[in-house]
Structure 1
Amino acid sequence: MLPLDNKIDHTIDEFEIKGKQFYFKEMCNWNLNRSNYIKAWQSAFQRQDMEESLDWMLGTKLNKTYIIEDSDGIIVSAYSMLKNNCLINKNKIDIGLCNNVFCNKKYFRYKLFDRISHLSLNNSSDYFSFAYGFPNRLAIRGHQRVGWSLPDPIKLYSYQISKIHSRYNSKASSEIRELNSFDSNEAKFFCEKIAQVSREKAEESNNYRISKTSSYYNWRFFQRNILKDRDYYICYNDSAISFFSVYKTDPQLNILDIQWKNNSAFISMIFELINFIKTKSLPGFRFISRELFKLLELELPNLDINVIEQIPLIINEFNDSKAFNPQSINLSFSDYDVY
């Protein structure tokens, strides 16, 4: 976890609703707010776990978090934006992933969701060119009400290994390792490598492309708390690299992020993943990357493909520039915090 600077939260705005005073702040010190925030989060979501995951998600400089406190200093609402990067026609911009939005049920009739949304988005526009999010379906209407647009959903693809033709049993020249086997120097090397490949591909492209930094990859995969229900791996060769996870309770492989310099390196890595899946007796693999889908369809046409789910996507383009086309961007599981 990347610790936040030792700063004191500062009040950005204060307001009164139904005779009660509230204070809108940017949360600058996770350690100072940790206990108060976790209690508020657990109360809002009715969950009594997730402390380590919240340490990982909220205790990083990458995540900008806004809170509303009541007059007793209790957090009653929160709204976060996780920093990511995107290249649009080769120009780098900062973008924000909306995450961990909640309101205390005690203040249900105070419309704090609308209030914190407007305040947080207004302040976020000073730091990000646009924001995106993957809300649960019950929250979509509320996000639309405060200005988010709802483009076409993201397709969740599933490839079933049972249909693979025998000609795909070629010996792979890639390697797979579990992430917990890496020391800090190795982790740094692979994060820099995949970030470099991602950046090079983005610079070669003339449209929209997420281009994550090595710091983002390091936080996303190597600083994450240990989760009991899944293991994380890396598959790589000289010109391609992929992070993936394997769930234990409902065995499945999720390709979280995949970058390649050429198609032959990509195919080598897919062969190694197929061998891994067969060894582990997994049903196949899942992903959301449209770019990965197109190349698999081209190179491995006998794979049995299904769209098993439509994941809601919301977009908020600040300053109403209309320069961003959500249909042209390629998202992966690593671009949000769930998988």
Structure 2
Amino acid sequence: MTDTVAGAGAPATFGVRGYPAALEWIARRAEAVVIPLAALVVGMALFSLFILAVGKSPVQLYETMWRGGFGSWFSVQNSLSRAAPLLLAALCVALPARLGLVVIGGEGAIVLGGVAAAAAGVALSGAPSFIVILVMGVAGMAAGGIWIGAVGALRHYRAVNETISSLLMAYIAIALMNQLVEGPLRDPASLNKPSTQPLADIYRVGNMPGMEVHWGLAVGVIACVLSWVLIEKTRWGFAARIAGGNVRAAQVQGLAVGSLIVGFTGLAGAFAGLAGMLEVAAVQGSANASLAAGYGYTGILVAFLARHNPLAIIPVAFLLGGIDASGGLIQRRMDLPDATVLVLQGMLFIVILFSETFYGRFKAFNPDLWQRSS
């Protein structure tokens, strides 16, 4: 079995010292797995030095982290529950990234999606549960989609940097959420912790059969699969990849780059808004300050670690969800602050960003650099 590639003049046939074409296929794809895994190992090694510096045992910490996130069926379910919003928050980063955009303001779409969903649920109190939950989902997606879609519009039509605008708009969204929850949408009965009126039980999203994990996990997985189909199997995804590689070339080919940017950022924001709706309908029961739990920021780490691949987001979100779920146990067993997990996430993010410089540099992962024979 042979492969042909474009050489200096005419196509050349690989005869890489007996390497089969299957090995070449594996080599081209191994880079996207090996480098992120190596970054994880290096990040955890650096974190171990930090733990040693504060006088604790890294071995005990990772053992506690394993028990808290993956060591029992209860821990696994807790990790899956934490992973559910991370799936959708990561898509808010991964979809615009295919167009070369770095959108990091998913937290704002999450909180506004939650507030919009809570307001819709309260306004439709008394209607059939299916209708109310559906409208809540649409409201949450609309709020998030408009918010992040505005970031894309600013980027295309006014050349405003999407990274800065999305981050600043996240702070605006959190302030707006606080204003609404503590003002016109506040439940008078919520004294110590201002919140909207609680949703009736019939309007809450329940758990999947046989699990203590709400249906938001299934929604997130389906969203990741559909996003992969959109990017890899449709003409819109193909056009987005072209625009992400070279915007000017895409414009020369007649692609509607502006529509792609606004459409993909709007869809990304809609997924984040849906995550906020699920936090309200499945976890909190109302919109309050707990919506700003940092899922949008952890979703950035998930997306980068998954290399913006929607399918890879699924296992990475489970991993990060497990690390997040172990924070409480680490605090109790090792007398470490709950923010210890945030330190680990920060170190991982720095190492992952640094690892981007290694792509394309290793001969083992690039068959084009192997010796060829005609």
What is the TM-score when the length of structure 2 is the normalising length?
0.23
Bigger proportion of residues as strand: 1
Larger radius of gyration: 2
Bigger proportion of residues as helix: 2
